[in-house]
């Protein structure tokens, strides 16, 4: 007897349909989770546009989730049926150089739930027990679905050389950019300059108290210099994944400053390496999160709940998955969209 569930399935380029599929069968070291909330992410758009290097249809997308454990494999575990949880959606090989060094988040063969295997835009999802994080008492499951993007930001701030009193610039104010800016403030930045072209996102950044630059009208580089007494930003976080971002970042950062590359550039974008040489810049990438970033992000869910709540722009049932994806693509008035299967 195979039980059925509803799922939003990426079936071919540009197309996601909600249909009945079998409920996943769990293995010994896995658990089945009833999905409460699943966040839509920019990566999901890359997948359905057919431009993701690995994701292939048919696939249930979705890697940001919260829910309740309903079934557990045979392995002995701290996780129990009935636990409210979130999932760190990384599947690493355990054998490559990075994994042996304990950097399994940059595994050479890294795979993700909702990208390489079926994910969370469904009534149920299965996940390896060791990727499941139990939520503390009192955390809302809506906010817990933001653990994943929050952990991305946590990792960004952790790998950066941010110091108390630093003036930082964030290029791109989507959900990740906004979370990076919020955590930079917690990390001691005295001025947080957010550069963005979308009006709705700029308004939200203003609401959070950041110094905003409307990059559709003002040159972000000269504005950053004005705002930093001609010095440039101590740290620049490139979260936009755009060609203008890679050009601006080396210009707006201070001499011997640091650039953290967060945004995913679908194609190689040009930058001015002479600036990197002459200014002795440090360029460093930041990819997903380590287990510790996930644990810390979970600890931030309650203290940061008001800010996190402001990032949720829509909540839809699963049947509106396509509409949600369209809204994220149009950017207009969408920030984080949650699906509630």
Residue 41 or 212 having the CB closest to Zn ion: 41
- Can residue 99 be called a binding residue for Zn ion (CB under 5 A)? yes
CA 179/CA 185 separation, integer angstroms: 10
Name beta bridge partners: 90: 112
- Can residue 264 be called a binding residue for Zn ion (CB under 5 A)? no
Any idea what the Cα angle at residue 187 is, between residues 174 and 294, rounded to 5°? Answer: 65
- Can residue 45 be called a binding residue for Zn ion (CB under 5 A)? no
Strand order in the sheet with 4-12: 15-22, 4-12, 59-60
154 contacts: CB under 8 Å, gap ≥ 6: 183, 289, 293, 294, 296, 297, 300
Q: What number of CA atoms fall less than 13 Å from residue 148's CA on the CB side? A: 29
Residue 151 or 318 having the CB closest to Zn ion: 151
Contact present, 341 and 18 (Cβ < 8 Å): no
Residue 111 or 279 having the CB closest to Zn ion: 111
We find the least distance from the C-beta atom of residue 60 to Zn ion, in angstroms, to be: 15
* Options 30-38, 107-115, 125-133, 192-200: segment touching Zn ion (CB under 5 A): 107-115
* Options 7-15, 71-79, 100-108, 308-316: segment touching Zn ion (CB under 5 A): 100-108
CA 102/CA 118 separation, integer angstroms: 26
Q: Are strands 124-128 and 30-39 parallel, antiparallel or unpaired?
A: antiparallel
- Can residue 283 be called a binding residue for Zn ion (CB under 5 A)? no
Residue 107 or 250 having the CB closest to Zn ion: 107
Burial 264-279 (b: 16+ CB within 10 A, else e): eeeeeeebeeebbeeb
- Can residue 96 be called a binding residue for Zn ion (CB under 5 A)? yes
- Can residue 61 be called a binding residue for Zn ion (CB under 5 A)? no
- Can residue 93 be called a binding residue for Zn ion (CB under 5 A)? yes
We find the least distance from the C-beta atom of residue 311 to Zn ion, in angstroms, to be: 13
How many residues are recorded in the chain? 341
We find the least distance from the C-beta atom of residue 288 to Zn ion, in angstroms, to be: 9
Q: Are strands 30-39 and 64-72 parallel, antiparallel or unpaired?
A: antiparallel
Q: Per CB under 5 A, which of residues 197..256 are in contact with Zn ion?
A: none
We find the least distance from the C-beta atom of residue 146 to Zn ion, in angstroms, to be: 10
CA 263/CA 85 separation, integer angstroms: 27
Q: Can you tell me which of 8, 35, 40, 92 binds Zn ion, judged by CB under 5 A?
A: 92
We find the least distance from the C-beta atom of residue 64 to Zn ion, in angstroms, to be: 5
- Can residue 85 be called a binding residue for Zn ion (CB under 5 A)? no
Q: Can you tell me which of 31, 41, 146, 235 binds Zn ion, judged by CB under 5 A?
A: 41
- Can residue 286 be called a binding residue for Zn ion (CB under 5 A)? no
Q: Can you tell me which of 16, 47, 60, 107 binds Zn ion, judged by CB under 5 A?
A: 107
Residue 46 or 310 having the CB closest to Zn ion: 46
We find the least distance from the C-beta atom of residue 247 to Zn ion, in angstroms, to be: 25
We find the least distance from the C-beta atom of residue 322 to Zn ion, in angstroms, to be: 18
- 313: part of which helix (H) or strand (E)? strand 312-317
- Can residue 115 be called a binding residue for Zn ion (CB under 5 A)? no
List C-alpha distances in Å: 131 to 79, 88, 90, 93, 217: 11, 5, 7, 13, 44
Residue 41 or 183 having the CB closest to Zn ion: 41
DSSP character string of 248-282: HHHHHEEEEEEEEE-SPPSSPPP--HHHHHHTT-E
Contacts with Zn ion by CB under 5 A lie at 41, 92-93, 96, 99, 107
């Amino acid at each position: 007897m195979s039980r059925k569930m509803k799922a939003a399935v990426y079936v071919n380029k540009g197309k996601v349909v909600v249909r009945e599929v079998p409920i996943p069968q769990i293995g010994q070291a896995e658990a089945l989770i009833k999905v409460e909330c699943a966040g839509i992410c920019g990566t999901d758009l890359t997948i359905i546009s057919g431009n993701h290097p690995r994701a292939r249809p048919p696939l249930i997308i979705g890697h940001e989730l919260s829910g309740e454990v309903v079934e557990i494999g045979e392995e002995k575990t701290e996780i129990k049926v009935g636990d409210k949880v979130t999932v760190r959606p990384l599947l690493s090989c355990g054998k490559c150089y990075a994994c042996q060094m304990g950097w399994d988040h940059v595994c050479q063969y890294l795979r993700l739930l909702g990208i390489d295997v079926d994910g969370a835009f469904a009534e149920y999802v299965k996940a390896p027990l060791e990727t499941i994080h139990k939520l503390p008492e009192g955390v809302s499951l809506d906010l817990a679905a933001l653990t994943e993007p929050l952990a991305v930001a946590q990792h960004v701030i952790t790998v950066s050389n941010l110091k108390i009193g630093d003036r930082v610039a964030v290029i791109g104010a989507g959900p990740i950019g906004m979370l990076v800016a919020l955590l930079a403030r917690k990390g001691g930045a005295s001025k947080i300059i957010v550069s963005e072209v979308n009006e709705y996102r700029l308004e939200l950044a203003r609401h959070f108290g950041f110094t905003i630059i409307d990059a559709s009208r003002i040159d972000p580089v000269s504005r950053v210099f004005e705002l930093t007494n001609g010095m440039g930003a101590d740290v620049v976080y490139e979260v936009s994944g755009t060609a203008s971002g890679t050009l601006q970042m080396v210009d707006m950062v201070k001499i011997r400053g640091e650039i953290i590359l967060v945004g995913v550039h679908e194609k190689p974008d040009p930058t001015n390496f002479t600036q990197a040489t002459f200014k002795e810049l440090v360029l460093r990438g930041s990819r997903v999160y380590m287990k510790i970033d996930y644990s810390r992000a979970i600890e931030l869910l309650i203290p940061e709940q008001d800010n996190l709540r402001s990032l949720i722009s829509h909540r839809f049932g699963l049947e509106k998955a396509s509409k949600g994806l369209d809204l994220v693509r149009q950017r207009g008035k969408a920030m984080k969209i949650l699906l509630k299967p």
